[in-house]
Amino acid sequence: MLETLLAYSHILAFLSWTVFLTSQTALARPEWFNAAVVARLVRVDRIALAAGMVVLVTGLARVAWGAKGPQWTLAQPLLWGKLALFGWMAWDSWRAHLEYLRWQRTLQVHGQLPSAAVIDAQRRRVMRAAHLMMWLPLLGVLLARGWFAR
């Protein structure tokens, strides 16, 4: 039963992260960018960061208390591949977070919105994280089934 709860909570967190990363890419479009979008992006980003942290915590819980145990799981290259992809996504997400805060601060202090080029660059960064995300479930399924196991 514990394995089921761990898997469910991990999947739920992952799907939540997906929703809020995707929301950021939908909002970050120069065509309709305004002050309200900046505020919404900051809120959505905070939720996405929280969901990403929950993904990490539930993943670590699966390693620690999952059915295969930490000794087996930590020896698997697929786990380290997942963590490397997660780290890349987290890095892109953190950089995006700092950029959103910079936009918010600039808007509050100077009343200026970012340029279309800056918005597009930010959108590409978040989209890269969202596209990297699609590989994590594949690696997770292969890991859970013992493919490429040592």
Residue 111 domain flag:
yes
93 within some domain: yes
* pLDDT tens for each residue of 63-104: 999 999 999 999 999 999 999 999 999 999 999 999 999 999
Residue at token pair 């202090």: 109
Number of domains in the chain: 1
Q: Which pTM does this prediction carry?
A: 0.91
Q: In this structure, which amino acid lies at residue 79?
A: L
- Please indicate, yes or no, if residue 97 is contained in any of the structural domains: yes
Residue 61 belongs to domain spanning: 1-145
For residue 118, tell me if it sits in a domain: yes
- The tens digit of pLDDT for each residue in 6-15 reads 999 999 999 9
CATH number, domain containing residue 19: 1.20.120
Specify if 46 maps to a domain: yes
Domain presence at residue 11: yes
